[in-house]
Amino acid sequence: MKIVVDYDLCESNAVCMGVAPEVFEVGDDDLLYVLNENPPEDMRAKMVEAADRCPKQAITIED
C-alpha cells in the first residue's frame, strides 16, 4: 500500500500523527511529512483510521 497526501488540502493539524506517529510527522516548520510512504500491510487498519479521521480528507491509500 502507498500513502498519498494531498498537500493542497492538508492543514498539518496532526490528527494523522496522533493515530500513526511512525508514519506521519508534523515538523517544527508546521508541515506534515510522511515518514514511510509504503508502510507494511499489518498497519493498514491504522492507515485507514488516519485517512478517515483527517478533517480535510487529504490522505488516501493506494494499493
How long is the chain?
A: 63
Which sign, positive or negative, has the C-alpha torsion 21, 25, 26, 28?
Answer: positive
What's the pTM value of the predicted model, to 2 decimals?
0.94
Q: Strands, E, within 1-63: which ranges?
A: 2-5, 24-26, 32-34, 59-62
Instruction: List the domains of the chain with CATH numbers.
Output: 2-62 (3.30.70.20)
pLDDT digits (tens, 9 = 90+) for 20-55: 999 999 999 999 999 999 999 999 999 999 999 999
